[in-house]
Each structure stands twice: as C-alpha cells, then as structure tokens.
Structure 1
Amino acid sequence: MELTHFNDFLTVAAQQTEPQHLLFVFATAALPAEHTDEEARRFAEGQGGTLTPVMYVDKAQPEVADFDSLVAESKHTGRDWQIVFVAALDGHRGQPLGSEAAQPALELMVKHIENGQIERFLAFDKTGRPVRFV
C-alpha cells in the first residue's frame, strides 16, 4: 500500500499481526547560521536546512485515532514543528510493548535524526502528507 497520508500509516499499523507501538519525533526546520545565498533561497522555497528534534513521544497504536488528533495533542506542548518522523515497533506474542520497553528505540531514533540519518523513518508534514527527502 502506498502511503499518501499519515492516516494510511495508522491503517497499516492496525493491520499488523503483532500490536504496534508507535514512535514519533517532531522536528523543526531551520537555516544554518552559516549558509550560502543559494541555501537561503532553497530554504525559502521549503527545501534544505537542518532538522532539529523538538519533542518526542511513544504511543500504543490504538491511542492515535488520526492525524488531526495527533496534531491537536502536539499543540498543547506549545512547541512548533514542521516534520514528524514515525516508526513502529512490533509487540511480542500478541502483547503490545510498553513505553518503558520502547524508550531506548525512541532515544535512538532521536539520535539518528540529530545525525541526519533519516532515511529509515517515515516523515510527514503538518498536513499529514508524506515527505520525501532527496
């Protein structure tokens, strides 16, 4: 199934044989302090820049009804973001993982994003549309 919206991701997660525990890292885009005019131009067009994680959370798949509810919840933090990176962890023998078990994977996910290693994660913009990095 091709994902055309975040809600497609939730549908796929719900269809897995093992219960899914979802990982979310919300990031903001910024233009580096030392940038070229070309980099500034591209950034103004919505391309380039750096991505910095500003918050993260893990949730059992049933806790996320849809993209709009995730966005509404994120607004309560008062932190702005442009991209949300997502990943999922399988439960074991029909039992979902808990937050404690997911924490190391979530922390590793944050580190990967901080280091620019984003190709292993799905990413969505603030409208729920997939983001492709080239």
Structure 2
Amino acid sequence: MISSYTDLLKAADAEPAPQRLLFVFCRAELPDDASEAEKAAFANGEGGALTPVICVDKSPDEVSDFSALVEESRQTGQDWDMVFVAAMSGRGGMKPSSDEAQQPLTMMVESIRLGHLGNYLPLNRNGQAVDLG
C-alpha cells in the first residue's frame, strides 16, 4: 500500500525495470454555475473539478524529495491542490526517456480532465496519498 511520496519512490525502486514518474498537478475549481450546496461543499474542501495545470515527467532520482518537487512547481507560477502520479516502466534495463513519456503523459492529462482518476496516485501538497473515494 502506497500512502506517501516516499512509499512511491520505494515501490519504484523495487521494480525490476527502471521507472519514469509522470506527474500531473491539478487545481480544484468550482464551475461558474455551481449551486449553493456545491459552493458550501467546496468551501469545506469537497467537490469541485480538478483542472490539470502542470505536467512533467522525471526519473525517480531527479525527484528523490517531495519538497524539491513542490519547490520546482512553484517556479511555474501555477497554484495547485493535488498531484497525480503514475509510473512508466523501461525496457531492456533502460529508463524510459522524456520523449517516450510524452504520449503517456498527454493521455494522463486527458484522462484526468475526463474524471478518470483510478489509475493514478493522488497526493496532497504534503506528499501524502489522498483517498478520492
């Protein structure tokens, strides 16, 4: 069971094939036509829609510390509430390249936009797993 970013790195390290991590940072937003009940729930940290604002791929050794990843995200000027993470396996003992990660990362962004979140690990700003169910 992965409950934190640290657990994710340990799991990636334990995989037989080298890994590349895919990150999609999202901001929680409320639609303009939200009802009063939806607005109240959103004010309590519930509901809303997750909008991807940043996506990046990294090898685990490039982001061995979650606080460094958060700091790097700050440099974009984009505010975010949650980051979704997926891992991509290499082949033949080789890490996947950033070029190889582009199509899966684009598909991940689109999947999140459509609300299909089940294949990704959601983490809060502290690097702790979030239960979306």
Range of TM-score over shorter length: over 0.9
Secondary structure of 1:80's counterpart equals coil
1: CA distance between counterparts of 2:102 and 2:64? 22
Unmatched segments (≥5 aa) in structure 1:
none
Secondary structure of 1:3's counterpart equals coil
1:47-94 residue CA offsets vs partner (Å, 9 max, x unmatched): 100000001000112111111111011111111100000000000011
Q: Residue in 1 aligned with 2:54?
A: 55
Secondary structure of 2:31's counterpart equals coil
Secondary structure of 2:20's counterpart equals strand
Q: Residue in 2 aligned with 1:96?
A: 95
The two structures have a TM-score, normalised by structure 1, of: 0.96
1: CA distance between counterparts of 2:99 and 2:26? 22
Q: Offset of 1:101 from its aligned partner?
A: 0.7
Q: Residue in 1 aligned with 2:65?
A: 66
Match for 1:10: what amino acid?
L
Match for 2:27: what amino acid?
T
- Equivalenced residue count is 133
Match for 2:90: what amino acid?
G
Q: Residue in 1 aligned with 2:115?
A: 116
Q: Residue in 1 aligned with 2:83?
A: 84
Q: Offset of 1:41 from its aligned partner?
A: 1.0
The two structures have a TM-score, normalised by structure 2, of: 0.96
> Percent of pairs identical after alignment?
42
Alpha-carbon RMSD: 0.8
1: CA distance between counterparts of 2:38 and 2:5? 29
Q: Offset of 1:43 from its aligned partner?
A: 0.6
Secondary structure of 2:41's counterpart equals helix
> Within the alignment, does 1:16 sit opposite 2:11 as a pair?
no
Assess if the C-alpha contact under 8 Å between 1:10 and 1:66 holds in 2: no
Q: Residue in 2 aligned with 1:45?
A: 44
Q: Offset of 1:4 from its aligned partner?
A: 2.2
2: CA distance between counterparts of 1:75 and 1:111? 23
Unmatched segments (≥5 aa) in structure 2:
none
Match for 2:34: what amino acid?
H
Secondary structure of 2:34's counterpart equals coil
